[in-house]
Structure 1
């Protein structure tokens, strides 16, 4: 049903990269350093947020919003740098929940 949501042709498509993680207790600071990687690698024009669960401070959600062509967005990422970033974060993560790139289909 949602696949049929119409999109205005004059609007750029917006995407959200989102990951839910349960961190190892007390590891937020180290995870955060590893998560950021090289600030130069952040997509231009994107907005990034990190959220913490009020009832479980070790559960976090990191998401970023970016507008553009999905193929161009994907092409701008360096797979080797991303692999290294994931490896650097891994020691601080207990588990990962939702993890993907989502198309924004409505903005209210």
Structure 2
């Protein structure tokens, strides 16, 4: 399992527009392999947003998945209009998971 993770500092006052651009349109299901997406907003600085998604596959499959669905051209380009700075961006291997009921 992989986790794609990005920390962004948004332009002031653009959170709602960014969140709208970040979400898939309508009821569009995530592409195959993606099992969960989350977006977090810093409680002390509303312009800092962390997004991450979990992908069940290899790095090569994740990259092919993003390329095949136009992620960079469609989604990321729309989001970037509201981003002042990308603080951290990467893909990480999940090496430990603990789920509590």
State the TM bucket, normalised to the shorter chain.
Answer: 0.7 to 0.9
Q: Would the aligned equivalents of 2:18 and 2:79 in 1 still touch at CA under 8 Å?
A: yes
Aligned length: 95
Compute the displacement of 1:24 (Å): 1.1
Residue matched to 1:24: 11
Larger Rg: 1
List alignment gaps of at least 5 residues for structure 1: 1-13
List alignment gaps of at least 5 residues for structure 2: none
Residue matched to 2:31: 43
- TM-superposition CA deviations, 1:41-66 (whole Å, max 9, x none): 62335111100111101101000112
TM-score (norm 1): 0.74
Relative to its length, the structure with more helix (as a share) is: 1
- TM-superposition CA deviations, 1:5-61 (whole Å, max 9, x none): xxxxxxxxx100000001111111111122224463623351111001111011010
Residue matched to 2:87: 97
Matched, 1:107 2:97: yes
CA RMSD in angstroms comes to 2.1
Compute the displacement of 1:72 (Å): 2.3
